[in-house]
Amino acid sequence: MLTNGNREMMPSGLNQICPVCSSLAVVPTGKTHNLADVLSRWQSEAGTEFPESVWQEYTVPTARNTTLYQCLRCGFSMFAPTVVGNSAFYTAITAGQYYVEEKWEFIQGAKDIASLQAARILDIGCGSGYFLDLLKTKGMKCSGYEFSPEASEAARAKGHDIFNGPFPEALASTAPYDVICMFQVLEHLPDPIGFLRDARKLLRPEGVLIVSVPDANGPIRHFPDALTELPPHHVSRWCELTFRIGMPLLGFRVEKALYEPLPDYLWHTYLPVMWDSGIWPAEICRAANGLEDMGINDSVLWFIGEMRKYGAKLLYGVPSHTLYVVLKRDEKPTRSTISEFRTDADAKFENLSSAELLRLYKELLSYNRQYREKSDEECREEEMRMGRYRLEIGQRESYLVSQQKILIRQQDEFARRKEGLAERETTLAARENEFVKREEAISAKENKLVERAEGLTVRENELAGRAENLSIKEQRYEKLFIVRVARELKALFKT
C-alpha cells in the first residue's frame, strides 16, 4: 500500500497537456465529484468510519470538487484538482480488509522475475509484505519500499528489509536494481509520471519495471463512480494504450501487457455487465440447449454454478480488474505515435467504406500540412479533433476483434459438441452450413483453433507472441498507408 500524507493539486484541466504523451487533446469528461459526498458514501456504502482529521483534511474550509480529464490520444485520465489520500484515510478504508493478500499479479510477477533470474529486486508500495512473502517461499530475496509506517513495521516483523523516507533518495545507496515492482501504486499518486522517471533511475541498464494498475478499459469502466475509482483513493486511470504510447517517452520499452483473468469473487459483479460483449461464458450459455431463452442474471447464475462444480477459480480470457505491464529500461527514449502500436495493421480498415477512408485520410493529410500555419489555439482544437478520429478507428478495431473472437469461440464450441454429444446430431446438422462458411472465412486460423480446444491459457501465449510482430507490421502498415492514400487521392482527383 502506497500513501502520501500531503494533498497535492494539479492545475485545472492538467494545463490542457497530457502528462503522459504531451498531447494537447485533454478534455473534461463531465465527471465531477464532491469530496464530502465521496467520504459520506464510504461511510454509508462501505461502513468506513473516518476520524475527524480526515474530514478536516478534505472538507475544510469547504469541500472541494474534482473533475476527471481524459487524453483523447493515449487514453490517460486524471482528476484535477488532484487530491490524494493521506495516511489516516487509508488506515480507515483498509480496516475492513479491503486489500486481497493473494493477487494474480503477484503470481505472474513471481513467474516473470524467476525467468529473469534477477538478484536485486525491489517492491515499491509493498504494504505488509504479501508479495515479499511469496518471493521468499520461492527462494528469492526482495526488498520493499513503503510510505506507511504501520505497514512497514508489519513487513519488518516478517523479516523483510523495508525502506522508508523520501523517494527515490532513500533508495539511492542501494541502487541499481534488476527488477522493480509497482503493484496497484500509480493510480494513487499525484505525479505518477515523475514517480516513473525516478523509478527508472533506480534500475540498471536493461533493468525491468513491472507495473499493475486497474484497467480503465476493462469491466471497471461499467462502474465509473465506484468508490475505489474516485479521489482521494484513485486519482488517475490507465489503459494499455497509455503505456504503449507514453512509456517510450520516459525511456521504457513495453515488453508485454497481460490482462488479469476474472477471479471467482468478482463473477457476480462483472459477468452481468460483460455478458453482451462477446465473452466466451455467454457464448457457451447461448449455445447450450435449454438456455437460449434465459435472462442474463439466470444465465450468469447457471454458469457460475457449473464452474464451481469443477472448482474453477479463474476465467481465463475474460477480462478483470487489473492490467499487468512489463517494461524494460531503454537507454534511447523514443517518440511514439498512436499508430505504432496498432495490431493487424493490414486489415484494420477493411470494413471502412472508401468514402470513410478518404475522409479520414484527407483529414490526416490536411492536419500534417496545416499544423505549422495555425495558432496555438487552432492547433489544440485540431489535435482534439484528430484524437476523436483516432478513437473512432480504435472503436472499429475493437468491434472487428470482438467479432473475430465470437467466430473463434463458436467454431470451437461446434467442434467440441460435435465430438462429444452424438445425441445432438440433428441440431448440429442444422447449424453445420453456418459453421462451414465460418471455417472458410477463418481457415488460416485452423491450427490456432485446435490449440484453443486444449485450453484458454494457450490463447494468452499466442497473444504474447503476436505482440513481438507489432513493429514489423507497423512498417508494413505505413507503406500500405502511403500507397493507399496516393491511390485514393489519385482516383478522387481523376473523378
**pLDDT score of 387:** 66
CB atoms within 10 A of CB 23: 23
What pLDDT is attached to residue 11? 41
- Rounded distance between C-alpha atoms, residue 6 and residue 3, angstroms: 9
Q: Quickly count: other Cβ atoms within 10 Å of residue 412's Cβ.
A: 18
End position of a domain, from candidates 329, 356, 374? 329
Domain around 390: 338-494
Task: Give the burial string for 425-459 (b: 16+ CB within 10 Å, else e).
Answer: eeeeeeeeeebeebbeeeeebeeebeebeeebeeb
Which residues are CB-neighbours of 248 under 8 A, at least 6 positions away? Answer: 254, 330, 333, 334, 335, 336
Whether residues 322 and 342 fall in one domain = no
In a domain, 202, yes or no: yes
Q: Are 275 and 360 part of one and the same domain?
A: no
Whether 474 is covered by a domain: the verdict is yes
Q: Which residue has the cell 448440429?
A: 428
Q: Does 7 fall in a domain?
A: no
Q: Does 315 share its domain with 268?
A: yes
Is the model's pTM score more than 0.75? no
User: Can you tell me the distance from the alpha carbon of 320 to that of 429, in angstroms, rounded to the nearest whole number?
Assistant: 36
- The answer to whether residues 352 and 451 belong to one domain is yes
Residue-level pLDDT at 389? 66
Give the span between the Cα atoms of 164 and 51, in whole angstroms: 25
Closest CA to 182 of 213, 139, 203: 213
Question: Same structural domain for residues 381 and 484?
Answer: yes
CATH number at residue 214: 3.40.50.150
Domain assignment present for 3: no
The predicted structure's pLDDT at residue 209: 98
Q: Are 157 and 213 in contact (CB under 8 A)?
A: no
Task: Looking at the structure, tell me whether residues 270 and 203 fall in a common domain.
Answer: yes
Grid cell, residue 222, equals 461499467
Q: Does residue 80 sit within a domain?
A: yes
Query: Are 348 and 234 in the same domain?
Result: no
Kindly state whether residue 5 falls inside one of the protein's structural domains: no
Whether residue 223 sits in one domain with residue 203: yes
From first CA to last CA, the distance across the chain in angstroms is 63
Mapping DSSP onto H, E and C, the string for the chain reads CCCCCCCCCCCHHHHHCCCCCCCCCEEEEEEEEEHHHHHHHHHHHHCCCCCHHHHHHHHCCCCCEEEEEEECCCCCEEEECCCCCCHHHHHHHHHHCCCCCCCHHHHHHHHHHHHHCCCCEEEECCCCCHHHHHHHHCCCCCEEECCCHHHHHHHHCCCCCEECCCCCHHHCCCCCEEEEEEECCHHHCCCHHHHHHHHHHCEEEEEEEEEEEEECCCHHHHCCCCHHHCCCCCCEEECHHHHHHHHHHHCEEEEEEEEEEEEHHHHHHHHHHHHHHCCHHHHHHHHCCCCCCCCHHHHHHHHHHHHHHCCCCEEEEEEEEEEEEEEEECCCCCCCCHHHHCCCHHHCCCCCCHHHHHHHHHHHHHHHHHHHHCCHHHHHHHHHHHHHHHHHHHHHHHHHHHHHHHHHHHHHHHHHHHHHCHHHHHHHHHHHHHHHHHHHHCHHHHHHHHHHCCCCHHHHHHHHHHHCCHHHHHHHHHHHHHHHHHHHHHHHHHC
Spatial strand order of the sheet with 26-34 comes to: 26-34, 65-71, 77-80, 236-237
- In the listed set 296, 329, 362, which residue is the last one of a domain according to the structure? 329
pLDDT computed for residue 346 by the predictor? 33
Q: How many domains does the chain contain in total?
A: 3
Would you give per-residue pLDDT tens digits along the chain (495 residues)? 444 443 333 344 445 789 999 888 888 988 999 999 999 999 998 888 999 999 988 888 777 899 999 999 899 999 999 999 888 888 888 764 545 667 899 999 999 999 999 999 999 999 889 999 999 999 999 999 998 888 899 999 999 999 998 999 999 899 899 999 999 999 999 999 999 999 999 999 999 999 999 999 999 999 989 999 999 999 999 999 999 999 999 999 999 999 999 999 999 999 999 988 888 888 877 777 566 677 888 888 988 988 888 888 889 889 999 999 999 998 776 554 433 333 333 334 344 444 454 444 444 444 444 444 444 555 566 667 666 766 777 677 677 777 878 888 888 777 777 777 667 677 667 777 787 787 787 776 777 656 666 766 766 777 777 777 777 777 788 888 888 888 888 888 876
The predicted pLDDT at position 312 comes to 86
- Residue 318 sits in the same domain as residue 350: no
Enter the C-alpha cell of residue 491.
482516383
- CA 469 vs. chain centroid, Å, equals 20
Mark which of 96, 131, 149 sits at the end of a domain: 96
Q: Are residues 359 and 294 in the same domain?
A: no
Residues 134 and 250 in one domain: yes
Same-domain pairing of 428 and 467 = yes
Q: Which three cell numbers stand for residue 82?
A: 488532484
Q: Across-strand partners of 121?
A: 179
Q: State the pLDDT at residue 454.
A: 75
Backbone angles phi, psi at 412, to 5 degrees: -65, -40
Which residues are bridge partners to 322 per DSSP?
214
Decide if 137 is inside a domain: yes
> Angle 376-420/280-287 helices, nearest 10 degrees?
40
Is the residue at 81 inside a domain?
Answer: yes
